[in-house]
Amino acid sequence: MAASTSLSLCPYILCRKAGPRNRYISCSVGSPTPISTRRTKVPRKSSGRLDGARKSMEDSVQRKMEQFYEGTAGPPLRVLPIGGLGEIGMNCMLVGHYDRYILIDAGVMFPDYDELGVQKIIPDTTFIKKWSHKIEAVVITHGHEDHIGALPWVIPALDPHTPIYASSFTMELIKKRLKENGICVPSRLKVFKIRRRFKAGPFEIEPLRVTHSIPDCCGLVLRCADGTILHTGDWKIDESPLDGKTFDRQFLEELSKEGVTLMMSDSTNVLSPGRTISESAVADALLRHISGAKGRIITTQFASNIHRLGSIKAAADVTGRKLVFIGMSLRTYLDAAWKDGKAPIDPSTLVKAEDIDAYAPKDLIIVTTGSQAEPRAALNLASYGSSHSFKLNKEDVILYSAKVIPGNESRVMKMLNRISEIGSTIVIGKNEGLHTSGHGYRGELEEVLQIVKPQHFLPIHGELLFLKEHELLGKSTGIRHTTVIKNGEMLGVSHLRNRRVLSNGFSSLGKENLQLMYSDGDKAFGTSTELCVDERLRIASDGIIVVSMEILRPQKIDGMVENTLKGKIKITTRCLWLDKGKLLDTLHKAAHATLSSCPVNCPLAHMERTVSEVLRKTVRKYSGKRPEVIAIALENPAGVLSDELNENLSGNYNAGFRLPTLRKVVDGHPRRGPPNKMKVEDDGILHLENASEQSLLDDDAEAERFLPVEDTSTSIPDYTERLTPNTDDSDELEEHEPEVKSDGTASNGDDSEMTGSSTKVVKA
């Protein structure tokens, strides 16, 4: 029942067939490619005579859908990708037999440049938790972060006894990752071996050896009574790998004879023609460049490529150089390989970073992180001259033995520009032979499709463009039944007993609306809304304004009741163009004028909401930006505001206060200075004229907030006039006096309370 309620329902047509005991249903479902569904026989329950009115047709169809999703009816093999389809990274997929599933991989995806404050993107753990009673095991193909990085969040979402299967080297990396996150589940961690079958959930699983850019990478063969599934994982065909463990082509040939119902294959490099070069060829290129260098060698590559580190170690031995590792991730992968017996380097033989200066440059090879110009990586810091481990110089030779990941081109180029400015020699480029991909090119993908000859083919791992191209490649090799799905779409597969049958065993079973989860690298974890991802970008682009208000309600003094709010406004901005202070002055004018239009007895929330909206419109009118405005209003119960207000009474000033209270403030001020001439105009407003003009020059910068002088040389609009209650202007900044909501709360995320006092300038 849980599955059917979580999936969006597809249009079904209920068909009746003569006979008292059986009914049939057929479904027509839209999909990326034409998919037909086999008619499935569903036995009718003998429920006897119904009480009351007969159930509607919709209820009958709904009941059949629930049986189709979760019962023993419908396609027996089911696939539901949670991540990794239509994107690079975050590989995570549910594969099941009827209503029993295993989870293959649980990886992370790294954020784009506009996802500020985010370190990792994680599959929808809320959905995994909802389906945890159906997930009987987790099986990991290899140890890259896009396949194991989400385990610290996925494991707590699963049932407490769900086992996690992985190869020995991959398991060492998993243990390290879980320990960093305070998770200790040793009894649930199970190690498998290549070509050794084991039982996991509804499947008998046999790991398949493939070659990749990390040790112990494997594909998975999943067998059950209703068919066989091949999941390749990440792979390439390396005819001469450094560890001698070649791609197991013979196993695939045997599997093809057995019959494969569904094949799912990596699509990352489907657009790259030809075949990848061997890691042995990269080792030869590294030796050639290191042997020809006279100065210090600095190499950078992906830390997980243990075979590449072995090539560098071999070149160091030939040339008589010592190795230095700089970067935490390098030590992490090397230590895991050492514990598993796969490390080509003894960690104890490495030169410590603090001993670099004790060796001549020609005697060292520095292996460092930072191939993608990560902000805190060693090579990137060295390009700024801020690394504590080593300093770059003109004699250094940088061997860039990696690929620039799409999206990192700009920052990598900036890092290389900084290194070039220092004068170091950079060796980079495809023609140098310093790097090879761990993902098979188009020629290798085609070869495996021709070997396996599956009944059905589903491209995985890659952008939607890659998946579509891989689908076309599958059709070109003679595979009739191929399709492309997206994350959250459940696909059903039925084994075709006769290969000559033209019918399709694919069935679309519905779609789950998944949501991405985000981690800031520390404790924060949640949806984009919970981590305010969009809000961070908006603030970075449009800025933020914080307005604090100290408010004094009108009081009855000497039998007179004031009609105007009094208060002090302080405005702080971040990430906002202020036009040399002109915009800030304009904001103060707008805030004071808006407050004066508020009723004296209105709630603080009403004042806050009103001023927030006006300031937001003021900035939009001034600079085209739409900043976030946060207003905080505090009501002062005292009879006199803070001393800062009184200190600003020098010069010509109209405070907007009524006579009795202001006379009390002025007479009691200790720094009053020379006597002031005081008179009351017809409008009832007190005007002060200080006898000393020099005192105005002595006021600090904050006094200008209370003594704004209009600059007629600029084109800044006079918001003080336009926001008065009597204005007839129809512009956006017209009189703003919205109704006070019954709950007194502010909208648009402005949850504080705020106000201000209007000011005028009376020239001497």
Q: Is pLDDT of 439 > 50?
A: yes
pLDDT at 598: 84
- CA dist 661 and 686 (Å) reads 10
pLDDT tens per residue across span 444-458: 999 999 999 999 999
pLDDT at 457: 98
pTM exceeds 0.75: no
pLDDT tens per residue across span 536-551: 999 999 999 999 998 8
* Bridge partners for 682 per DSSP: none
**Average pLDDT, stretch 606-634?**
93
Q: Is pLDDT of 461 > 90?
A: yes
Torsion, Cα of 293, 296, 301, 305 (10° steps)? 80
**Average pLDDT, stretch 292-311?**
96
Task: Let me know: does 490 contact 527? Beta carbons within 8 Å.
Answer: no
pLDDT at 74: 83
pLDDT at 672: 43
Q: Residue 325's Cα: distance from chain center in Å? A: 30
**Average pLDDT, stretch 621-642?**
80
From the list 146, 167, 147, 69, the residue with the least C-alpha distance to 104 is: 147
User: What's the pLDDT band for 198 if we cut at 50, 70, 90?
Assistant: very high
Q: Which residue has the higher pLDDT, 650 or 285?
A: 285
- CA dist 36 and 31 (Å) reads 10
Task: Give me the amino acid identity at 261.
Answer: T
pLDDT tens per residue across span 409-423: 999 999 999 999 999
Q: What sign for the dihedral angle of Cα 392, 398, 401, 407?
A: positive
Q: Is pLDDT of 284 > 50?
A: yes
- Name the strand (E) or helix (H) holding 608: helix 604-623
- CA dist 344 and 365 (Å) reads 16
Task: Let me know: does 607 contact 598? Beta carbons within 8 Å.
Answer: yes
Two tokens at 277?
């070069």
Q: Is pLDDT of 703 > 60?
A: no
- φ/ψ of residue 420, rounded to 5: -65, -35
In the chain, the N- to C-terminal Cα span, in Å, equals 81
Two tokens at 31?
């999909």
Q: Is pLDDT of 594 > 50?
A: yes
Give the neighbor-by-neighbor strand order of the sheet with 322-326.
322-326, 364-368, 297-300, 397-400, 425-427
pLDDT at 719: 37
pLDDT at 420: 97
Two tokens at 274?
């030809």
Q: If you write DSSP's letter for every residue of 504-526 in order, what string do you get?
A: --EEEEEE-----EEE-SSS-EE
pLDDT tens per residue across span 489-508: 999 999 887 554 445 678 99
**Average pLDDT, stretch 266-270?**
97
Two tokens at 664?
């009390």
Instruction: Compute CA distances 547 → 17, 208, 361, 550, 593, whole Å.
Output: 72, 63, 58, 10, 14
Q: Residue 629's Cα: distance from chain center in Å? A: 25
- CA dist 283 and 435 (Å) reads 9
Domains along the chain with CATH numbers: 2-70 (no CATH), 77-274+438-526 (3.60.15.10), 279-432 (3.40.50.10710), 543-722 (no CATH)
User: Residue 104, SS3?
Assistant: strand
pLDDT tens per residue across span 75-122: 999 999 999 999 999 999 999 999 999 999 999 999 988 889 899 999
